[in-house]
């Protein structure tokens, strides 16, 4: 996870140095991630449209080879290659989003290291001081607890220097009254809004995707796609309850930006319209192929007829030549002339 957290931490540090706000840095970071994923999101919608277009052919193959799984897979692969369709293409944006989330979790759990650039040795010393003070903290996110402890009791950390204390005191984890360094719980507090909103905002994009792209829930790979779409609304609150509220906040705004992105993309890349266009193109291509086959058969029949006609003409010529030869032999040797028959020409 540190491998993913390091580059993302550099981006968060840059944003924080510009904005001097932990909350706004998270929001801007989330927006940048969604913008980077726009090309992949467009590709995902195009992939869904292509799926809708070839769905009838897929169902026909599945019905035809229902008792022969190997042959079915071979024919489906041929169909995918012919139509230039990748069944796994629509999953890539979701997988990248999860990878970014894993990296960002490391950044949010360790803001002193990634955002403030404090060395590991100093963090270790601060952790020991905090333990000596009897401060309760999660073993997964001690750095957020250190920040709160320093802000509440700076004198206890005097051994680490004035710069250390000043840096942590100026680092504000609060965003509109919510401490993004604390872990949400089921108690009635503003923090409970983070898991709730993360679940609600995760459900809406999933619902929109299934509504606008029904084809993604059909055919091979549909099961995994359905699990990913329906699992997100359940996964988001669970993740938000497990760590600092900053993780849930990222998830909330990521979902909000995704909704906006989906609505905008639908104006230019409407899945239903794209699917209809893809179907029309496929039908036109099949019609063109049908006409080409008919034309090829006509040419083949014309070629056969021409060859047959040439054969007839050659047979007449052969008959005449054989007849003339027999006449010459009959006159020369005084034999009886015999008419040429079809058997003589075989």
Domain boundary assignment for the chain: 2-116+171-269, 276-345
Which tokens in the block code for residue 163? 């710069």
Interior CA angle at 249 toward 142 and 194, to 5°?
A: 90
pTM: 0.68
Place of tokens 């459900």: 203
- Looking at residue 102, what is its pLDDT? 86
Which residues in the chain land under pLDDT 70? 1-2, 89-90, 208-232, 270-272, 274-275, 278, 337, 340, 342-346
CB neighbourhood size of 294 (10 A)? 10
Place of tokens 């266009």: 277
- Looking at residue 56, what is its pLDDT? 74
Distance CA 99, CA 106 (A): 11
* CB-based contacts of 301-304 (< 8 A; 24+ apart in sequence): none
Residues 6+ apart with CB under 8 A from 155: none
Kind and range of the H or E run holding 150: helix 142-152
Distance CA 150, CA 165 (A): 7
CA 235 vs CA 93, 199, 200: distances in Å: 17, 8, 11
3-state secondary structure of 244: coil
Residues 6+ apart with CB under 8 A from 33: 97, 100, 254
What angle in degrees, to the nearest 10, is found between the helix axes of 120-132 and 142-152?
Answer: 60
Distance CA 210, CA 115 (A): 38
Distance CA 303, CA 299 (A): 6
φ/ψ (deg, to 5) at 66: -60, -30
Query: 125 exposed, middle or buried (CB, 10 Å; 0-12, 13-18, 19+)?
Result: middle
- Looking at residue 42, what is its pLDDT? 80
Which tokens in the block code for residue 114? 């990634």
Kind and range of the H or E run holding 175: strand 174-175
- Looking at residue 218, what is its pLDDT? 55
Q: In this structure, are residues 102 and 4 in contact, taking their beta carbons and an 8 Å threshold?
A: yes
Q: In this structure, are residues 88 and 50 in contact, taking their beta carbons and an 8 Å threshold?
A: no
- Looking at residue 212, what is its pLDDT? 63
């Amino acid at each position: 996870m540190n491998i993913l957290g390091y580059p993302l931490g550099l981006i968060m540090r840059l944003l924080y140095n510009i904005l001097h706000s932990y909350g706004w840095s998270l929001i801007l970071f989330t927006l940048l991630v969604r913008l980077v994923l726009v090309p992949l999101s467009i590709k995902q919608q195009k992939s869904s449209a292509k799926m809708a277009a070839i769905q009838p052919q897929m169902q026909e193959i599945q019905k035809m080879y229902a008792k022969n799984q190997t042959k079915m897979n071979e024919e489906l692969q041929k169909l995918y290659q012919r139509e230039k369709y990748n069944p796994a293409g629509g999953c890539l944006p979701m997988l990248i989003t999860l990878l970014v989330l894993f990296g960002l979790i490391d950044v949010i759990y360790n803001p002193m290291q990634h955002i403030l650039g404090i060395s590991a040795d100093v963090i270790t010393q601060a952790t020991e001081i905090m333990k000596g003070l009897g401060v309760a903290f999660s073993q997964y996110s001690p750095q957020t607890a250190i920040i709160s402890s320093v802000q509440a009791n700076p004198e206890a950390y005097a051994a680490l220097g004035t710069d250390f204390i000043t840096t942590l005191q100026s680092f504000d984890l609060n965003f509109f009254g919510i401490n993004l360094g604390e872990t949400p719980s089921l108690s009635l507090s503003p923090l409970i809004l983070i898991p709730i909103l993360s679940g609600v905002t995760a459900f809406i994009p999933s619902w929109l995707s299934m509504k606008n792209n029904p084809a993604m829930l059909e055919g091979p790979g549909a099961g995994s796609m359905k699990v990913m779409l329906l699992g997100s609304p359940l996964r988001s609150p669970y993740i938000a309850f497990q760590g600092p509220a900053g993780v849930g906040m990222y998830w909330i705004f990521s979902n909000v930006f995704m909704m906006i992105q989906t609505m905008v993309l639908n104006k230019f890349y409407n899945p239903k319209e794209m699917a209809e266009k893809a179907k029309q193109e496929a039908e036109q291509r099949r019609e063109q192929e049908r006409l080409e086959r008919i034309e090829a058969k006509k040419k083949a029949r014309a070629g056969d007829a021409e060859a047959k006609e040439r054969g007839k003409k050659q047979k007449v010529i052969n008959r005449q030549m054989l007849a003339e030869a027999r006449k010459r032999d009959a006159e020369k040797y005084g034999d009886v002339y015999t008419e040429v028959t079809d058997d003589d020409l075989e």
